[in-house]
Amino acid sequence: MSVSSTEEMPAEPVQPRLIPHGVLIPFMLVTALFFLWGVPNNLNDVLIRQFMKSFALSRFQAGLVQSAFYMGYFLLATPAALLMRRFGYKSGFIVGLLLFGIGAFLFWPAAIIGRYPYFLAALFVIASGLAFLETASNPFVAQMGDPQSAARRLNFAQAFNPLGSITGALMGTVFIFSGIELSGSQVAAMQATNTYTAYLRAETMRVVAPYMVLGAITIVWAVLIALTRFPVVAGEHQPEGESHGRFRDLLGYPTFLFAIFAQFMYVGAQVGTWSYFIQYVQDSTHQHEKIAGYLLTGTLAAFGVGRFGSSAIMRYVRPHRLMALYSVINIVLVGVGVLLPGWVGLWAIFFTSLFMSVMFPTIFALGIEGLGKNTKIGGSLIVMSIVGGAVLTPLMGWISQTTHRISLAYSVPLISYCVILVYSLMWRRMQAAETSNQH
């Protein structure tokens, strides 16, 4: 009996499903969290400019917005991991959303009191909630399907983060920026007529409404997650004891340790780039704050395009290779932004968002690959490295303030992309060495 030629052909390898059967609703609820935490992340970029105006702050002082925010990530990521190690990822989602909502509601009393430190405290509470959400969401999404599709799945989920970033920047530009920018003579005239304090208070109160809406949405989302049945992912429930993993075990994973440093530098580059983008636009091209705000929204849109695009490209290009290519492109673009401030430099910095988009989820996915029982605590340490935003953003403010050139501050992201390039090029070699040592 003859056999047809089609039966003799070897079967083509089956691409692993991006989203496994039966987990679509939990995946959608968690993916929405990537959108939600993108909103306050980029409202911060507007707050920096707004607080410089309403509290008469220097660039360095205004940069403390990001320090307070990312210190919340740094201090709460490990407690989040310990909570989820005992109670699972779902507990992390619920606690994170509740903290997020409480911090947003604290903007109202902070505005009534009218003191800058109270806003910093509210931002710290919001970021504490986001530390729980990111510590839970990233490894949950990465582990809820085939390991071969983890980086692509995480890039897809992370692609909704820039949509939240765009929403945050647009909300801030439309509802927080008043469009009123006073000259020195106008300030003096208002002080002479005792109207300047009322103006500052009105500018401060403009931040309240967006955060009240945001707080209400997060509380509703916490209820939805609490009522939804979640799947058990790899390592979700394990016996008590060492099976949960130990921090000292992680010292044996060079790729993971390098990922922490690479993520520290990446987040510093991302946060710093966007935090001072409005100032870069105004200093280099002398545009109005509203125009600068819309340009910020545009660069965040480019970030979103990059996230969705890179998720598709990763079907054909290995994640670490794509990240290496994007790192080289951003080194060139930021170099142009540093050396040629003006419209040329502005557009160069603008398009860095398109290519930085692949970096956070890829560094995260590559960093936790192969950690096994140590994934939760390993993921929490990578989330802690988000403190790079708290360290490098004020550093950029200090460079700008001391040199009187905002363009020179962008040398910090330039160095960051060099570090990420080295990580991308070395990752495969380090991973191979780890595998041979384990066997």
Q: What is the pLDDT of residues 385-435, one digit of tens each?
A: 888 888 898 899 899 989 989 999 999 999 999 999 999 999 888 887 776
User: Would 3 be classed as within a structural domain?
Assistant: no
| pLDDT on residue 3 | 44
Residue 4 has pLDDT above 50, yes or no: no
CA 36, chain centre distance (Å): 11
| pLDDT on residue 94 | 96
Tokens of 59: 């660039």
Of 335, 336, 330, 346, residue with least CA distance to 281: 346
Beta-carbon contacts of 112 under 8 Å, excluding residues fewer than 6 positions away, are none
| pLDDT on residue 118 | 95
Q: Any idea what the Cα angle at residue 30 is, between residues 27 and 31, rounded to 5°?
A: 80
Taking residues 132-138, what's their average pLDDT? 87
Tokens of 79: 């407690």
| pLDDT on residue 365 | 84
- Asked if residue 392 lies in contact with residue 248, where contact means CB atoms within 8 angstroms, the answer is no
Of 34, 46, 77, residue with least CA distance to 263: 77
| pLDDT on residue 9 | 46
CA-CA distance, 308 to 90, in Å (whole number)?
A: 26
User: Would 311 be classed as within a structural domain?
Assistant: yes
CA-CA distance, 365 to 423, in Å (whole number)?
A: 13
CA-CA distance, 140 to 231, in Å (whole number)?
A: 10
User: Would 13 be classed as within a structural domain?
Assistant: no
User: Would 2 be classed as within a structural domain?
Assistant: no
- How many residues are present in the chain? 439
| pLDDT on residue 2 | 43
pTM score, whole prediction: 0.74
- Asked if residue 166 lies in contact with residue 300, where contact means CB atoms within 8 angstroms, the answer is yes
CA-CA-CA-CA dihedral for 140, 141, 146, 151, to nearest 10: -120
Radius of gyration in angstroms for the set of CA atoms belonging to the chain, rounded to a whole number? 23
Which helix (H) or strand (E) element contains residue 67?
A: helix 64-87
62 or 128, which is more confident: 128
Least confident of 96-100, 116-120, 122-126, 185-189: 185-189
The pLDDT tens digits for 216-264 are 999 999 999 999 988 877 555 555 444 455 677 788 788 889 999 999 9
Tokens of 392: 């490098």
CATH of the domain at 361: 1.20.1250.20
CA-CA distance, 389 to 399, in Å (whole number)?
A: 15
Q: Any idea what the Cα angle at residue 242 is, between residues 236 and 246, rounded to 5°?
A: 90
| pLDDT on residue 259 | 93
User: Would 376 be classed as within a structural domain?
Assistant: yes
Residue 84 has pLDDT above 90, yes or no: no
Average model confidence (pLDDT) for the chain? 85
CA-CA distance, 308 to 287, in Å (whole number)?
A: 30
User: Would 8 be classed as within a structural domain?
Assistant: no
| pLDDT on residue 40 | 92
- Asked if residue 51 lies in contact with residue 57, where contact means CB atoms within 8 angstroms, the answer is yes
Looking at the structure of the chain, the number of domains it has is 1
Residue 29 has pLDDT above 50, yes or no: yes
Taking residues 76-100, what's their average pLDDT? 89
User: Would 129 be classed as within a structural domain?
Assistant: yes
Least confident of 7-11, 104-108, 319-323: 7-11
User: Would 41 be classed as within a structural domain?
Assistant: yes
Report how far apart, in Å, the C-alpha atoms of 160 and of each of 191, 307, 380 are. Answer: 45, 8, 21
Least confident of 61-65, 115-119, 205-209, 390-394: 61-65
| pLDDT on residue 1 | 42
- Asked if residue 267 lies in contact with residue 386, where contact means CB atoms within 8 angstroms, the answer is yes
SS3 347: helix
Alpha-carbon torsion (390, 396, 400, 402), positive or negative: positive
Number of neighbouring beta carbons within 10 Å of residue 25: 12
The pLDDT tens digits for 146-202 are 777 777 787 788 778 888 988 998 898 889 988 787 877 888 898 889 888 888 898
Which helix (H) or strand (E) element contains residue 230?
A: none
Backbone angles phi and psi of 15, in degrees to 5? -70, 130
Query: Confidence band (pLDDT; 50, 70, 90) for 439?
Result: low
4 or 41, which is more confident: 41
CA 38, chain centre distance (Å): 7
| pLDDT on residue 241 | 46
| pLDDT on residue 298 | 93
Number of neighbouring beta carbons within 10 Å of residue 195: 11
DSSP one-letter string for 163-207: HHHHHHHHHIIIII--S----HHHHHHHHHTT-HHHHHHHHHHTT
| pLDDT on residue 92 | 93
Domain range spanning residue 310?
23-237+245-438
Q: Any idea what the Cα angle at residue 126 is, between residues 19 and 231, rounded to 5°?
A: 25
| pLDDT on residue 300 | 87
